[in-house]
Amino acid sequence: MSHEIRTPMNGILGMTELLRNTMLSAQQRRFADSVPQSGEHLLSIINDILDFSKIEADRLHLESIHFNLRQLVEDLACLFARPAESKGLEMVCSVPHDLPVAVQGDPVRLRQILTNLVSNAIKFTSQGEIVVRVSLLAEDVWQARLRFEVQDSGIGISDEAQARLFQAFVQADGSTTRRFGGSGLGLAIARWLVDLMHGEIGLHSQAGKGTLFWFEIPLRKQEPSARAPLDLAGHLAGLCVLVVDDNATNREILANQLAGWRMLHSAAVDAHDALQQLATTTSAFDLAILDLHMPAMDGFELADAIRGDPRWADLPLLMLSSVSVGAGERVHQRAMLDCYLTKPVRQSDLYDAIATTVARRPPAERPMPAAATPAVVAGKPRLAGHVLVAEDNPVNQEVAAAMLESLGLSYHLAENGRIALERVLNERFDLVLMDCQMPEMDGFETTSRIRDGQRSGALPQRLPIVALTANAVAGDRERCLAAGMDDYLSKPFGREQLAAILQRWLAQPPAAGTAATPPAAAAAAPTGDEAINPRALDAIRQLPGPNGELLVQKVVAAYLGDAPARLAQLQAAGDAEALRRTAHALKSSSANVGAEQLSALCREIESLDRSGSVEATKALLTGVESQLPRVLAALATLSRADP
């Protein structure tokens, strides 16, 4: 049912988005603008009902895969930053630095629980803040019990309503449905998912004084090598930071993050307090972190006062702001800053920004302030390329075609997998948008045959394939990637979502006769018998962000810790599926660091073992065992050579 319901929704929302980009009268635009919000709301209800039906039929099963907990929670907070800001709310995220983040579980369902809680918090809050916290309750060598909290300053819930809140199709009262909408399924689904995870869920609330939803679940830790923490403090340890923010929660979170990097700090509740501390403190500050939105004197005015006093004119300044400040606003004031980040700030981005700011590079080399994310330092590269759209639904064909045209890309259409395969064999494309469910030959088989053609030499070029799927069920993304697809886009999708995917693969104009390649693969093949291609790491250095060199160090350190464990897993694999899964992981990470020969060996293991024969991979495994030490040695040498 998921495919049958979501596919027409893609046509409705996609066509509406295209309609809104045409010349409309004021009345027509008002009508057209009302469709996406209603469509997205309907889609949310559809997803809830589909999940509810699977739970009732006992057909909802959890996955157990590796994921990074910090990244999941911080990404979720960033996703909700704009909806929160549109209501004047502060979105705050707290993930302690010493939390075990390399865990194993079902990230899709964990994200679904948090999404339900955060979206409810925003819906029922008109002023104040939304805080997402994660804390460690207990742990042993292999498992951690974690507590997740979503706290708001909204309307609160009466004691009577709390008793029945987790029942299906129930809301706090009848007026809630009339005022705020919703299916009444979100919290019931969250409770069922927490139960499946062997956890518990609850809330603390008082009418008119806000609500705190919490749930506690156990998560398995990954292998010791994968969860070994990187000591990122380095030269930041001992630096003294002035934190200026009128929000007590933000001050607390920043204090914990700085303490985790062994930095000292002093907190100021407003600009006046900050100027007093600067004037009276005997020891100099190495950095000031300023919030933009403060009463009486905002962050820009404070920065101007600091720059205007010769005693502190050279103090590095890092500003935090909500997403409401556009890239073109108050540019003359932003020029006085060393770095500018948007909230909620990911911990890794804050670290990179601090490391860059205190390095005191010449002004011409400093990262340009950006309002969107700390990683945005320049305009996006122009898209270029020729795209094949493999899609059997005529409406979805038209939607995809119009979106590609609006992005300046040429395209061809194929109505099934067989036609798509013929086109790929006879024409040059830079990327394929591959629907997973098509007649005659589905997207999975089509992709498999394309990859077979590349291995045989019939298709020498690297061809990115992006899956288009309307299933939106757990494991769907993994199935697409396992089939040889490079990326994944869930229907219904909008122009911006499609553009973001294409940006990843087609950001550089493709050279004549060659296909576009992802950033990690864009470097030229190494000559001779090199263990790694250094240009792959150069590509990482050139990614947008405040400190590309630090990012390379992180990637290399993670690989040095992870790859030996992956080899041990390959050697110990007792069945074809375990072998394929591990080879796939090592293939991808090796390509990222430029270990192209090793990545190719892993790709061969991954493809051979689909036949179910573990024995057939022994010779290739010997090659991996021989190649990996050379790769590790080369990376270690590069790491020591980096400043």
Residues 278 and 173 in one domain: no
| Beta pairing, strands 128-139 & 143-152 | antiparallel
User: Is pLDDT at 19 greater than 80 in this prediction?
Assistant: yes
One domain, residues 272 and 323 = yes
Give the pLDDT confidence score for residue 477 in this predicted structure.
Answer: 66
Q: What is the pLDDT of residue 59?
A: 74
- Using alpha carbons, list the distances in angstroms from residue 384 to 397, 499, 545: 20, 11, 23
Is pLDDT larger for residue 146 or for residue 175?
146
Q: What is the mean pLDDT of the chain?
A: 78
**How many angstroms separate the CA atoms of 125 and 293, rounded?**
19
Residue 124 has pLDDT above 80, yes or no: yes
Instruction: Name the amino acid, one letter, at 383.
Output: L
Task: Give pLDDT tens digits for 53-107.
Answer: 777 777 778 888 888 999 899 988 988 888 888 888 989 999 998 889 889 999 9
- Taking the C-alpha atoms of residue 237 and residue 65, their distance in angstroms, rounded to an integer, is 34
- 372 within some domain: no
The whole-number average pLDDT for the span 421-442 is 89
List, in sequence order, the alpha helices (H) in 310-442.
331-334, 347-358, 394-406, 417-426
Indicate whether 47 and 74 sit together in one domain: no
Distance CA 582, CA 606 (A): 8
Mean pLDDT across the stretch 448-475? Answer: 77
Shared domain for 476 and 614, answered yes or no, is no
Average pLDDT of span 268-295: 88
The reply to whether 83 and 191 lie within a common domain is yes
> What pLDDT is recorded for position 388?
95
pLDDT, greater one: 231 or 240: 240
**pLDDT for res 580:** 78
Q: Which pLDDT tens digit goes with each residue over 151-185?
A: 999 988 888 888 778 776 555 554 544 444 455 68
Rounded Cα–Cα distance for residues 598 and 587 (Å): 7
Return phi, psi of residue 533, to 5°. Answer: -100, 105
Same domain, 184 and 295: no
41 and 70 housed in the same domain: no
Q: What CATH code is carried by the domain that includes residue 615?
A: 1.20.120
**45-to-42, 84, 435, 544 alpha-carbon distances in Å:** 5, 21, 24, 37
What number is the average pLDDT over the span 529-558? Answer: 67
pLDDT in tens, 234-265: 567 888 999 999 999 899 999 988 988 888 88
| 3-state SS class at 465 | strand
- In DSSP terms, 456 is beta-bridged to none
Residue 378 lies in a domain: no
Determine the pLDDT at residue 473. 53
Instruction: Examine the domain organization and report whether 81 and 211 are in the same domain.
Output: yes
Domain edge (last residue) among 518, 552, 568: 518
- pLDDT of 324 strictly over 80: no
| Residue 294 tokens, joined | 């403060």
Q: How far apart are CA 305 and CA 313, in angstroms?
A: 9
Q: Tell whether 10 is covered by a domain.
A: yes
What pLDDT, on a 0 to 100 scale, did the predictor assign at position 122? 93
Query: Could you tell me if 158 and 270 lie in one domain?
Result: no
- Count of domains observed in the chain: 5
Q: Is the pTM of this model over 0.75?
A: no
Question: Among residues 92, 89, 164, 149, which one has the least CA distance to residue 123?
Answer: 89
The predicted structure's pLDDT at residue 61:
82
User: What percent of the chain clears pLDDT 70, i.e. is strictly above it?
Assistant: 78
Return the pLDDT at 245.
94
Residue pLDDT, tens place only, 337-390: 888 888 888 888 888 888 878 864 333 333 333 333 333 333 445 677 889 999
Above 80 in pLDDT, residue 294? yes
* pLDDT score of 397 more than 50: yes
Rounded to an integer, the average pLDDT of 16-36 is 81
pLDDT band at residue 50, thresholds of 50, 70 and 90? Answer: confident
pLDDT at position 421 is 93
- Residue 446 pLDDT: 93
Window from 315-319, 461-465, 612-616 with minimum mean pLDDT: 612-616
Q: Is residue 374 part of a domain?
A: no
Of 170-179, 189-198, 285-294, 619-628, the range with the lowest mean pLDDT is: 170-179
Q: Are 552 and 594 in contact (CB under 8 A)?
A: no
273 lies in the same domain as 165? no
For residues 399 and 21, give the distance between their C-alpha atoms in angstroms, rounded to a whole number.
Answer: 13
Is residue 373 assigned to a domain? no
* pLDDT reported for residue 220: 94
Does one domain contain both 19 and 160?
no
Helix 394-406 / helix 2-20 crossing angle, nearest 10 deg: 40
Rounded Cα–Cα distance for residues 34 and 39 (Å): 9
Neighbours of 613 (CB within 10 A): 12
Cα–Cα distance measured from residue 510 to residue 463, given in angstroms and rounded to the nearest whole number: 12
pLDDT computed for residue 545 by the predictor: 46
- Of 490, 518, 546, the last residue of a domain is 518
Domain co-membership, 95 together with 165: yes
Q: Which domain holds residue 450?
A: 386-518
Query: Helix, strand, or coil here: 218?
Result: strand
pLDDT at 475 over 60: no
Contact 400, 388 (CB under 8 A): no
Query: DSSP letters of 158-212?
Result: -HHHHTTTTSTT--S-HHHHHHH---S-HHHHHHHHHHHTT-EEEEEE-TTS-EE
Considering the domain boundaries, does residue 471 fall inside one? yes
Greater confidence, 463 or 146? 146
Predicted pLDDT of residue 486 = 83
Q: Tell me, what's the pLDDT at 549?
A: 67
SS3 of 298, please?
coil
Percentage of residues of the chain with pLDDT beyond 90: 21
Domain termination site, one of 56, 80, 99: 56
Taking the C-alpha atoms of residue 80 and residue 78, their distance in angstroms, rounded to an integer, is 5
Q: What is the pLDDT of residue 179?
A: 47
Q: What CATH number corresponds to the domain at position 486? A: 3.40.50.2300
Is residue 209 included in any domain, yes or no? yes
How confident is the model at residue 525, as a pLDDT?
38
Q: Checking DSSP bridges between strand 240-244 and strand 211-221, what pairing results, if any?
A: unpaired
In-domain check, residue 78: yes
